[in-house]
Amino acid sequence: MAVPADRRWPHAALALGLAVCWWTLASRAAAPAAPAPPQATAAGSGSGGAAAAATDPTYAALRGARPDGRVAAVHGLVLDRDVFHFELTSGALHFLEPVAGRTVGAVFLGRGTLRLNPATVAERRQLALELGEGRDFEVLTDSFDELVLLFGDDTAQEVALAAPIERHAPDPRARQVYERWLERQRHDFHLNLQLRLLRDLLNAPAAAAPAPAPAAAQAPAPLPAGGVFLALLAGKKLPPALLAVDPDGAGSLVRGARLGRETTLLWVEDPHRRGAWYLSDRRAVVESRGQGG
């Protein structure tokens, strides 16, 4: 069948383009493969990343870290992480033993409250739906008596500025709470948060050699301010939940859930209501786009 004259040029261009593509692919196939660039062993939280990190001593230390007896008694301590507002009304923070010279976690025992003020109207509606609230819902408020924090940011230094850190014998209850949440993280949430912490440790500047320890506990060595912040809690309203602010995006934490690059996540682990109850970019980013609610 003859091709009309006005369509000959597009057909010729297509044929030429296909020929060039075929020649390029053939040339690449014939050329020796370039070596793959090295990647950090903590690139993700999948089983492959965990297998690669299994022999890393820093990763082993992260998995084995438990409360070491450093305690900060807190009264009205506030931790603001994007839309999450934590107030530790009264109680104590029990720090995990340092890893690579840095403190990356703590267990809170006492009385505390959580306030979540969604950054967008859509996320406010979604959260209201998950909570069974009506159209007038504005802010989630909840309370808790235990909280596990894991962080690659400057949380430990923020606490040290607000409350003196003392050294005591490790608290058995703090250890029990941490181990319970560690099991829940593995078997209920199916997450490997220690692998995510490893990434921040690998990317952090080397810690200075520790000085001889005085009678009082030393302030924790700093980590980059833009590191990950993770909180595990079960509130009076919330089922067991992970609250995260991750500069690498929520998709780097919860694999298989098709989460994107949004940095702020409330993930609930519940047999009937499992999933992301809140997922958004940081409020400042949302407001810069004129989408704040």
pLDDT in tens, 157-208: 999 999 999 999 999 999 999 999 999 999 999 999 999 999 999 987 665 4
- Per-residue pLDDT at 159: 97
pLDDT in tens, 54-108: 688 999 999 999 999 999 999 999 999 999 999 999 999 999 999 999 999 999 9
233 against 26, higher pLDDT: 233
Provide CB contacts within 8 A for 278, sequence distance 6+: 83, 116, 118, 123, 126, 127, 264, 265, 266
Domain locations in the chain as residue ranges: 51-206+215-242
238 against 37, higher pLDDT: 238
- Per-residue pLDDT at 252: 83
- Per-residue pLDDT at 77: 98
The whole-angstrom separation of Cα 117 and Cα 95 is 28
Report H helices in 132-280. 155-162, 172-187, 193-203
220 burial class (0-12, 13-18, 19+ CB within 10 angstroms)?
Answer: buried
Q: Look up residue 258 and give its amino acid.
A: R
The mean pLDDT value for 21-31 works out to 42
Q: Look up residue 235 and give its amino acid.
A: G
Tokens describing residue 233? 């809690």
The whole-angstrom separation of Cα 41 and Cα 49 is 6
The whole-angstrom separation of Cα 53 and Cα 50 is 5
pLDDT of 4 over the 50 cut? no
Residue 258's pLDDT band (cuts 50, 70, 90)? confident
pLDDT of 291 over the 70 cut? yes
pLDDT in tens, 103-159: 999 999 999 999 999 999 999 999 999 999 998 999 999 999 999 999 999 999 999
Backbone angles phi, psi at 245, to 5 degrees: -125, 105
